[in-house]
Amino acid sequence: MVAPLRVGVLGAAKIAPKALLAPALLHPDVEVTAVAARDEATARAYAERHGIPRVLPDYEALVGDPDLDVVYNPLPMALHGRWTKAALGAGKHVLCEKPFTANGDEAAEVVAVAERTGLVVMEAFHHRYHPLVERLVELLERREIGELRSVDAWFRARINRPDDIRWKLELAGGSLMDIGTYPLHLMRTVAGEPEVVSAEAIERTPAVDRTMLAHLRFTDGPFHRGTVEGRMASAMLSRRGRGSGALVVGTQGSIRVEGFVQPTVHNRIEVVSPRGRRAKSFPRTPTTYDGQLAAFVRAVREGAPVPTDGADAVAQMRAIDAIYTAAGLPLRQPA
């Protein structure tokens, strides 16, 4: 019998219970066995609250611990690259929260370490592992709406706490770096790698975007030949409501997706094609995070491919860099 993968958590992040701890309880091949935070007392309180058996004194101790197989990295965005490289260098597979790194060059550095060590590194774009997005991809593979012509995607939220790390430039913050990664990734899934035609940022503080709007153009993607136009929008102080969605238009119809980022709250996919109009919603379970962890385990155990691997992460970060440049804002930098 193969022993479960032993996972250590970097930091006392709020996302970890939903993204890792709960799915791990349902997966027989995963055990979360250790945590470390900047402050050991914080880590101890976190471990007690979530039933994690071991507390390590700092990040260095966690990534170097010989009794761990995997590191989960939900640290602030500017720290992702540094500690993912450290974990890979210490012989650990890594599941890293999005965005993968601060910028494209740092992403390429991380992937170089993963390739040298032969270890799995995966960006935690959980939405990509849910039946809602799988259904979208299946419809496009079947050319249900003909040849792709345009794809728009958006995610709007209201994150109003000024002390939130997502507002801090020194921690690689900004709307595009946080919630904007989701619509951008969905558009890349549908249409391939983008050329940035134009981008406009509305700043909350200097160089930190609260809204990012980008006009993208895609040529010869996975489901089309020729040019596809796209509009991406992200807002961290939205006045137009909250939620995520996409509209995909082809020569013979359209697909509207609702709630792809948080499908356990609400989700719907509506297809208009020569077969008529039809809509479907998916159950709340399994969650996006359940699917994500299962895919990560298959990658580690069996070498199975995943759609959010290192190469995809580099392409994603290059696209983010290009949007920031087009909007006249600086690229994010590692801490």
pLDDT per residue as tens, the chain (335 positions): 789 999 999 999 999 999 999 999 999 999 999 999 999 999 999 999 999 999 999 999 999 999 999 999 999 999 999 999 999 999 999 999 999 999 999 999 999 999 999 999 999 999 999 999 999 999 999 999 999 999 999 999 999 888 899 999 999 999 999 999 999 999 999 999 999 999 999 999 999 999 999 999 999 999 999 999 999 999 999 887 899 999 999 999 999 999 999 999 999 999 999 999 999 999 999 999 999 999 999 999 999 999 999 999 999 999 999 999 999 999 999 99
| Residue 140 and residue 247 in one domain | yes
d(CA 54, CA 216): 46
Q: With respect to residue 267, please indicate whether it lies within any of the assigned structural domains.
A: yes
Is residue 98 part of the annotated active site? The answer reads yes
Same domain, 101 and 165: no
Q: Domain check: are 35 and 151 in the same one? A: no
In a shared domain, residues 56 and 188: no
The sheet carrying 70-73 orders its strands as 54-55, 30-36, 5-10, 70-73, 93-97, 121-124
- Here the tokens at position 233 are 């929008």
Same domain, 271 and 305: no
- Residue 322 · residue 196 · CB < 8 Å: yes
Mark whether 139 and 75 lie in a shared domain.
no
Count other C-beta atoms under 10 Å from residue 99's C-beta.
28
CB 32, CB 9: distance < 8 Å: yes
Q: Which amino acid, 34?
A: A
Same domain, 120 and 147: no
Q: Which of 85, 98, 168, 280 is catalytic?
A: 98
Phi and psi torsions of 189, nearest 5°: -60, -40
Q: How many domains does the chain have?
A: 2
Is the pTM of the predicted complex or chain greater than 0.95?
yes
Are 177 and 256 found together in one domain? yes
pLDDT at residue number 1: 74
Range of the domain at 178: 131-284
- The strand pairing partners of 121, in sequence order, are 94
Are 107 and 164 found together in one domain? no
